[in-house]
Amino acid sequence: MQPDPKARALLFDCDGTLVDTMPLHLKAWEYAINFYGYKFDYDFFFSKKGMPSKEIIRLYNKQFGTNADPEKIVAAKNEFFKQYADSIKPIDPVASVVYEYHNKLPMAVVSGGSKDNVMQSLIVTGLDKYFDLIVTADDNIKHKPAPDIFLYAAEKLTVEPEYCVVYEDGDFGVEAAKAAGMMIVDVRDFIEVE
């Protein structure tokens, strides 16, 4: 879990990496999909973690031949998420790295989640005060699995990509970090994630 000694910056995914929100996100997806009369597919939504929500609905429509409105579904999903956000807890082994390297290395949250959801998760867990930069799906940057969002964070922290360590729990995030030429800690190797 410790970063490589060459690390000059640490970049963290949020959901499922820093905070234990994946079960809540999946419940929120199930609620929103069912509310609008569509069929919830756990494996589909679980496999898309790390992607922006509206993009997930576009892929859902393509895969299942539906015409779900991304705006309405995502709004319902986010409303459900906010309603139950107080239950969110930090993922302790990853949060421990954040506490240890605070004020030692620049750190950023780099998430495919919406800014509102990411900030709420960080505030509820008290992690919001540890980061120099927070980049989300609401920023106008190409997201995971493209490397752009990680490269943007490295540039803002003024650290070359090869000296950044990315903490991730999703296949799209790992793919993006590799494409960015960054070091990776796949937290799934250290913790049980749902």
For residue range 149-168, what is the model confidence (pLDDT) as tens digits? Answer: 999 999 999 999 999 999 99
91 confidence band (pLDDT: 50, 70, 90): very high
101 pLDDT higher than 90: yes
Question: Minimal CA–CA distance to 161: which of 174, 175, 151?
Answer: 151
Domain 9-20+89-189 sits in CATH at 3.40.50.1000
Tell me what the mean pLDDT of segment 78-97 comes to: 95
Residue 148: active-site member? no
The chain-wide mean pLDDT, for the chain, equals 95
- The full length of the chain comes to 194
32 pLDDT higher than 60: yes
What letter represents residue 27's amino acid?
K
**C-alpha span between 191 and 194 (Å, rounded):** 10
Tell me what the mean pLDDT of segment 130-137 comes to: 96
Which region, left, alpha or beta, applies to residue 103 given φ > 0 means left and ψ of -120 to 50 means alpha? left
Q: What is the pLDDT of residues 172-182, one digit of tens each?
A: 999 999 999 99
Please state the three-class secondary structure of 100-161 as a single string: HHCCCCCEEEECCCCHHHHHHHHHHHCCHHHCCEEECCCCCCCCCCCCHHHHHHHHHCCCCH
Domain boundaries, the chain: 9-20+89-189, 22-85
Q: Poorest-confidence range of 59-63, 112-116, 128-132?
A: 112-116
Judge whether 9-20+89-189 and 22-85 match in fold. Answer: no
Q: What is the pLDDT of residues 106-120, one digit of tens each?
A: 999 999 888 999 999
Tell me what the mean pLDDT of segment 11-18 comes to: 95
- Exactly one of 4, 13, 128, 138 is catalytic; which is it? 13
Domain 22-85 sits in CATH at 1.10.150
Res 51: pLDDT: 84
Tell me what the mean pLDDT of segment 42-56 comes to: 90
Q: Poorest-confidence range of 14-28, 30-44, 154-168?
A: 14-28
Whole-structure pTM over 0.85, yes or no?
yes
